[in-house]
């Protein structure tokens, strides 16, 4: 009887236990589904890693931007940008000629402008550090021209004190260099007519100067101021072909200015028959009350033909250096100069009793001139120069 009962109850017991086990497993599975805490914790870690990675990328980009900005600051001059903490020469360095343009060490167009001295044998006091500094700081000049007459009274080839004249030139170069200005050494022929007349003296002079200043980025050589009369383009070419190699033997890349016939007005001649040298520019001179549209047109045509022009001397009055100033013509010259980015040097820095000297003859100051101490040309040029400050 007991065995029969056991046979009946045992399968039932096992069945109940199996059911209970299935139910228990189902509840455990349900509990796990409703409380996936392990999965959530894992997701938080992954999310944080992802955010950290994103923040890390953002920081890297930010750091890279800062580094790029720092590189730009460190290399501001190398990118061709103007650094106000540097002098003009430090910013622009050794110049060269590119087509019709004067360009700086970065290949950017550059314009030189400032005052030309009168004859340094006659007005030596203006070859002065304080004078140049005032012109730089107050008028914005970036260049000075040292005019050394050759055949005129007390000139280099006519009985003048050669050592004294060379000392004045050297002082002028030193002052300009200390101030970060460019400087033109001008072999100022006039009564000589043709530069061939004193060719040998010129070769000796420029040999000495170019040896002395071969490592200077700011020195420019003007080898013949105003050929005239017998100073044809053929004569000038012969002269240049002898003098320029002397300079190039010492200073291979310096800018050299070459005067043109008829008091440096015939820039059409080098436009048609240029010299076979690099870094050469051709000189044009004008006096606004005498030289008008016809000379501006000649200059523009030469520029359009690819001729590099440098105006190393000009005035606002008549070609004699006297007479009335013609403001209307001066304004036209100013416009064509600025439109073409031509370098220009105004004649002259002195208190001589003539219209073209910018300082009144009764004023002996070497700097700090008031408007009442400047002549009309001085006032005009002061305004023009100052309008360019910061450019």
Helix (H, G, I), strand (E, B) or coil at 152: coil
Give residue 6's pLDDT. Answer: 42
Query: H or E stretch including 70?
Result: helix 37-74
Do residues 208 and 139 touch, judged by C-beta distance below 8 A? Answer: no
Lowest mean pLDDT among 61-65, 267-271, 334-338: 61-65
- Determine, yes or no, domain membership for 356: yes
- Determine, yes or no, domain membership for 88: no
Q: 126 and 233 share a domain?
A: yes
Q: 145 and 239 share a domain?
A: yes
Do residues 221 and 255 touch, judged by C-beta distance below 8 A? Answer: yes
Pairing of strands 113-117, 143-149: parallel
Q: 50 and 119 share a domain?
A: no
> Is 313 among the catalytic positions?
yes
Give residue 227's pLDDT. Answer: 98
Give residue 81's pLDDT. Answer: 73
Q: 242 and 376 share a domain?
A: yes
- Determine, yes or no, domain membership for 264: yes
Record the tokens describing residue 209, joined without a space: 């100067």
Domain extent, residue 71, equals 44-76
Whole-number Å distance between alpha carbons of 225 and 45: 83
pLDDT, tens only, 175-195 = 999 999 999 999 999 999 999
- Determine, yes or no, domain membership for 57: yes
The answer to whether residue 42 scores a pLDDT higher than 70 is no
- Determine, yes or no, domain membership for 87: no
Q: 257 and 382 share a domain?
A: yes
Of 151, 152, 313, 377, which residue is the catalytic one? 313
Q: 49 and 101 share a domain?
A: no
Whole-number Å distance between alpha carbons of 262 and 282: 13
- Determine, yes or no, domain membership for 167: yes
Of 151, 152, 222, 226, which residue is the catalytic one? 226
Q: pLDDT confidence of 26, banded at 50, 70, 90?
A: very low
Q: 359 and 225 share a domain?
A: yes
Q: 49 and 21 share a domain?
A: no
Whole-number Å distance between alpha carbons of 299 and 285: 10
Give residue 127's pLDDT. Answer: 98
The answer to whether residue 268 scores a pLDDT higher than 70 is yes
Whole-number Å distance between alpha carbons of 119 and 164: 13
Do residues 258 and 237 touch, judged by C-beta distance below 8 A? Answer: no
Give residue 294's pLDDT. Answer: 98
The answer to whether residue 234 scores a pLDDT higher than 60 is yes
Do residues 225 and 186 touch, judged by C-beta distance below 8 A? Answer: yes
pTM: 0.80
Whole-number Å distance between alpha carbons of 315 and 346: 6
Q: Is it true that the peptide bond before 348 is cis, omega within 30 degrees of 0?
A: yes
Domain count, the chain: 3
- Determine, yes or no, domain membership for 89: no
**Distance between first and last Cα of the chain:** 123
**Average confidence (pLDDT) over 162-166:** 98
Q: 135 and 61 share a domain?
A: no
Question: Alpha carbon 319 to chain centroid distance?
Answer: 31
Q: pLDDT confidence of 159, banded at 50, 70, 90?
A: very high
Lowest mean pLDDT among 43-52, 183-192, 277-286: 43-52
Question: Alpha carbon 137 to chain centroid distance?
Answer: 17
Q: pLDDT confidence of 80, banded at 50, 70, 90?
A: low
Lowest mean pLDDT among 22-31, 47-56, 347-356: 47-56
Q: pLDDT confidence of 82, banded at 50, 70, 90?
A: confident
Task: Return mean pLDDT, the chain.
Answer: 85
Record the tokens describing residue 237, joined without a space: 């070419």
- Determine, yes or no, domain membership for 253: yes
Q: 167 and 64 share a domain?
A: no
Any idea what the CATH number is for the domain that residue 297 is in?
Answer: 3.20.20.80
Whole-number Å distance between alpha carbons of 217 and 105: 10
Q: 71 and 153 share a domain?
A: no
Q: 10 and 99 share a domain?
A: no
64 or 374, higher pLDDT: 374
Category of 372 on φ-ψ map: left (φ > 0), alpha (ψ -120 to 50) or beta: alpha
Alpha-carbon dihedral sign for residues 165, 167, 171, 177: positive
Do residues 312 and 283 touch, judged by C-beta distance below 8 A? Answer: yes
Whole-number Å distance between alpha carbons of 110 and 23: 94
């Amino acid at each position: 009887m007991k065995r029969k009962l056991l046979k009946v109850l045992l399968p039932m017991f096992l069945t109940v236990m199996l059911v209970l086990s299935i139910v228990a497993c189902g509840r455990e599975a349900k509990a796990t589904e409703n409380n996936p805490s392990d999965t959530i914790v894992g997701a938080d870690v992954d999310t944080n890693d992802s955010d950290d990675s994103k923040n890390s990328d953002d920081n890297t980009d930010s750091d890279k931007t800062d580094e790029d900005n720092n590189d730009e600051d460190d290399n501001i001059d190398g990118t061709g940008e103007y650094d106000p903490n540097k002098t003009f020469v430090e910013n622009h360095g050794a110049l060269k000629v590119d087509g019709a343009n004067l360009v700086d060490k970065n290949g950017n167009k550059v314009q030189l402008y400032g005052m030309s001295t009168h004859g340094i044998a006659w007005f030596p006091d203006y070859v002065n550090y304080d004078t140049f500094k005032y012109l730089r700081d107050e008028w914005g000049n970036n260049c000075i021209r040292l005019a050394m007459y050759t055949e005129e009274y007390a000139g280099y080839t006519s009985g003048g004190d050669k050592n004294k004249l060379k000392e004045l030139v050297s002082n002028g170069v030193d002052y300009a260099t200390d101030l970060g200005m460019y400087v033109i050494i001008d072999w100022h022929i006039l009564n000589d007519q043709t530069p061939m007349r004193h060719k040998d003296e010129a070769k000796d002079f420029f040999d000495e100067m170019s040896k002395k200043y071969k490592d200077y980025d700011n020195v420019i050589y003007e080898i013949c101021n105003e050929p005239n009369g017998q100073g044809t383009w053929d004569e000038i070419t012969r002269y240049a072909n002898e003098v320029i190699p002397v300079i190039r033997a010492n200073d291979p890349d310096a800018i050299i200015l070459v005067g043109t016939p008829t008091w440096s007005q015939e820039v059409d001649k080098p436009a048609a028959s240029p010299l076979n040298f690099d870094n050469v520019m051709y000189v044009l001179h004008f006096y606004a009350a005498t030289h008008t549209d016809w000379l501006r047109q000649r200059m523009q045509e030469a520029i359009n033909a690819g001729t590099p022009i440098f105006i190393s001397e000009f005035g606002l009055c008549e070609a004699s250096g006297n007479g009335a100033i013609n403001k209307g013509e001066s304004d036209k010259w100013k416009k064509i100069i600025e439109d073409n980015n031509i370098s220009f040097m105004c004649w002259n820095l002195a208190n001589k009793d003539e219209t073209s000297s910018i300082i009144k003859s009764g004023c002996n100051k070497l700097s700090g001139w008031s408007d009442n101490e400047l002549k009309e040309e001085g006032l005009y040029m002061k305004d023009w120069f100052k309008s360019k400050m910061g450019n």
